[in-house]
Amino acid sequence: MPPGWTPPDWESRHIDLLALGVPVRLRCWGDEPDEVAKHVRRAWAAAIAIAPAAPSVVLDVVVTADEQVRTTASAAGAIADPSIEIVLHILSGRVTLAAIDQQAGRLWMLHGAALADPVTGASVALVAPSGTGKSTAARTLGRRFGYLTDETTGIGADLTIHPHAKPLSIVRSGTFVKEQVGPAEVDLLPGHATPALRAILLLRRDGTRTVGVERLRTSMAIAGLAPETSYLGRLPRPLSFVAGVIERTAGVFDVHYDEAADLEPVVADLVSR
């Protein structure tokens, strides 16, 4: 049944995604719902579910010039704006937060990008605070390694990575709204069907000309990664959970570097181990 705020002649267009393993349904509404759905589908092309399951999360996306509808829709929890660019910008964060909330206590969720060997699925997570180079690294390295996410890496106890192949947020000059671009539009390779964690890089973009790589002891690794983890306390026996994952991989590495391209041989070495 349509939400109560929709005009009687409106019909939605559904798009089913898989975000961190969570089935998410986007209901696209508006003055031109097909046009809304086209833009959403383009941006989220890499995350569209091949075999849609019953959605755990439903989000309404509304693009309309009708201010009253937008106001009522927003009050009901919808993402509503007359601009598709702004809607897509907001939608990226809403999908991410909803998926993280659904997987709290099930996955170790790191604030980081993830890339996979396109043949084997061996994967590396690139972890760093916001604004310090994760998305740039994902865009640069994703032309050789499969793109899994540039935002949140969800890791199961069995080392399986649950991709979050969201659009990349790209800053364009002259606007405060980041453009949401599908990975294929910037020539990134698709992620592997069964990615598994091989290593974690704790990135320090400090201008180091020669890349420095240091393997961290498990205790130091946990201390470094804890601030970049969502809902750590919700995991069962969280420190044991995280330590168990780390000790079954090649490890966690403190990496000092200058440019994202400098990381390519480090990632290549780790996914081949």
Instruction: Give per-residue pLDDT as tens, 181-233.
Output: 999 999 999 999 999 999 999 999 999 889 999 999 999 999 999 999 999 99
Question: Do 82 and 17 belong together in one domain?
Answer: yes
Residues 52 and 116 in one domain: no
Residues 93 and 120 in one domain: no
Domain boundary among 62, 88, 103: 103
**pLDDT at residue 264, rounded to an integer:** 97
CA gap 254, 213 in Å, rounded: 6
| Mean pLDDT for the stretch of residues 86-114 | 97
Its domain, for residue 127, covers 108-271
Number of H helices and E strands in the chain, helices first, is: 7, 17
Q: Residues for the chain: how many in total? A: 273
Final residue in a domain of this structure, among 62, 87, 103: 103
pLDDT at 177 over 90: no
Helix (H) or strand (E) holding 197: strand 196-205
> In the prediction, which pLDDT does 192 show?
97
Quick one: 48 and 114 in the same domain? no
97 and 117 fall within a common domain: no
Q: pTM of the full predicted structure?
A: 0.95
Mean residue pLDDT of the chain comes to 95
Total domain count, the chain: 2
| One domain, residues 124 and 95 | no
Domain end marker among 49, 79, 103:
103
Query: Hey, which bits of 89-188 come out as E strands?
Result: 108-110, 112-116, 122-127, 146-149, 153-155, 161-162, 168-170, 179-181
